[in-house]
Structure 1
């Protein structure tokens, strides 16, 4: 009796822990050519790698915008800077996913 209660408690603890790992905002990744050419990494690993690439590109695009504004002598527009950086980060993320063998599924 006690043994089954301990097992049930351990199972519940594991389920609660793993439920916290699920990211509802993470896109669903679909392998592009699964039967013939399997993806390079698992979807979670590819997502993690590509988010890092996207974050780097976001910072780099902001820095480049500030440099162009400084060289051109015009004031920095925060909305335009954010739009450029977000678009660059998204392009980098999608490109990275493609190189990993995935595409983002339509929801």
Structure 2
């Protein structure tokens, strides 16, 4: 009887550890996907804001609209800088963080 109880305890403990590991994996995937979605939102917003500011600049010729476009392009250009830094033969992590 003791052997059967020990086996059951070991199986339950193993299942609990497995479920905790699965839960941790799911949380990591959720955090990564949330970060990716938020980054995509910032990138898209920067691109849209830059396009709108450039359209206003073309219509009115106001230098402030051109400055707004440059400011809005900081996120997409930063993303490009970070990606290029990571795609090098030896990735430059510091430059990627700056991007």
Of Structure 1 and Structure 2, the greater strand share is in 1
Please say whether Structure 1 and Structure 2 have the same fold, judged by a TM-score greater than 0.5: no
Shorter-chain TM band: 0.3 to 0.5
Q: TM-score, normalised by structure 2?
A: 0.37
Q: TM-score, normalised by structure 1?
A: 0.35
Task: Compare relative contact order (CA 8 Å, sep 6+) and give the higher one, 1 or 2.
Answer: 1
Q: Which has the larger radius of gyration?
A: 2
Of Structure 1 and Structure 2, the greater helix share is in 2
